Amino acid sequence: MAFPRGFYWGGATAANQFEGGWNEGGKGDSVADHLTAGTVSSPREFHNQLHPGANYPSHEAVDFYHHYKEDIALMAEMGFRMFRLSINWTRIFPNGDEEEPNREGIEFYRSVFEELKKYHIEPLVTISHYETPYGLMCDYDGWANRKTIDYYMNYVKVLFHEYQGLVKYWLTFNEINSLQMGVGDILAGGLRTKDGPLPGFGASADQKLLQKRYQALHHQFIASAKAVILAHEQYPEYQVGCMVAGGCTYPYTCNPDDVLKAQKDMRMNWYCGDVQARGAYPYFAQSMWDEMGITINQEEGDAETLKAGVVDFYSLSYYMSTCASTDPKVLAAGGNLVFGAKNPYLKASDWGWQIDPKGMRYLLNELYARYQKPIMIVENGLGAVDELIDGQVHDPYRIDYLREHIQQLELAIKDGVDVIAYLPWGCIDLISISTGEMKKRYGFVYVDKNNDGSGTLNRYRKDSFYWFKKVIATNGEDLK
């Protein structure tokens, strides 16, 4: 058996795409609550003032807030051993800078964790997953302001204290390297913005915005390290990890220029990974800053904080690979935070994301060689259009996708990589972060909701539900 005994099988979600109840229980606005629905051809918009009649998908999402017992029972039926979820920061601190937390929000998550415990499902909690408080954006310019570190730590202290005995595994930030990309400005960074279309993944930026992004990212590194230090000093039972958007880049040709570009593009994994898993900026950081014309303002003691706040494990999302080319005529491939040339050897999803299970094995080997820490895959999956017919959803394409990735995961473990969890994304259908659509579905459970917000919210087991249940029951041996 390649998969070790005790391997964590399960699934993953995020509050702003899954939870709903956006203004219930004392919750305040997050930046995600100000994003409209969209499509691939019509980008999501950010509104500082909510517009009457506009569709803001996070407001209801798929209403886990009122369906959590039903949803957790479905996870238990599949045999989940771990469920990754995030806490809505503004459900605990509505504006982000209050002195006292919102007790109703604390008790909601306590109920969720107790329900998971009843079924022996281990929660993996993302502390900040694209849910920066809107108040921190307006009043402080989000993570561009060093004060946000203190507000984040107030939040962390409450979570660590309140959920002792209920939560063991924590992630400090979701896809922390997304702040290096366009969409991260609003969702990950909470940086002040005007009304208008959401910047696309990989959107370019002028020097002033680059300076703000990388300074905000430095503040997140310090916040993450402080959270790790707090856990190690006061809560030794806690395990705290980082979460990086995993990218696998191949040279498009054997032209040395393409090879060098591919090597450089792979740094999207190492820039944040090195800081959080090694405790210092990578060797190439200064040349990278010089190239962008930016300076990272670091206070006395920051280097020591980063060194002391090294994470216990490394987690990542993995959806696709791409190719690096210096030829401007080579067609670009779309995807989750990854851009480059289309690989002629790979198929693509309905949304143009290149499907590359072997790329996951390659990346896992590279990560483990560099960091030598346990690895969790906390996002992986196929966004596709599913049809509900007579209460059934036949999704062999999703089963094929997951089977091929699990096979490569098994080979990576045989290679010697210490992978301890596989948590496919959107285990119960949720709204897409990139487009705000419902029709881009990932889950093993179909949720009856449409792009326009209509639907019953009823849950239906897909064929993949029963397949994944069998995979878990056999610890990955039966993939038929």
- Residues taking part in catalysis: 175, 379
CA distances from 93 to 50, 89, 110, 135 (A): 20, 6, 16, 10
CA distances from 441 to 68, 72, 93, 162 (A): 19, 19, 31, 34
CA distances from 78 to 257, 394, 430, 447 (A): 48, 17, 18, 16
Q: Partners of 255 in the beta sheet? A: none
Q: How far is Cα of residue 443 from the mean position of the Cα atoms in its chain?
A: 15
Residue type, 81: R
| Cβ neighbours of residue 281 closer than 8 Å, sequence gap 6 or more | 271, 274, 275, 306
Backbone angles phi, psi at 355, to 5 degrees: -95, 115
Q: How far is Cα of residue 413 from the mean position of the Cα atoms in its chain?
A: 23
| Cβ neighbours of residue 4 closer than 8 Å, sequence gap 6 or more | 413, 420
What string of DSSP letters covers 54-117?
---GGGTTT-HHHHHHHHHHHHHHHT-SEEEEE--HHHHSSSS--SS--HHHHHHHHHHHHHHH
Nearest CA to 264 out of 243, 242, 282, 244 is that of: 282
Collapsing DSSP to helix, strand or coil, 257 comes out as helix
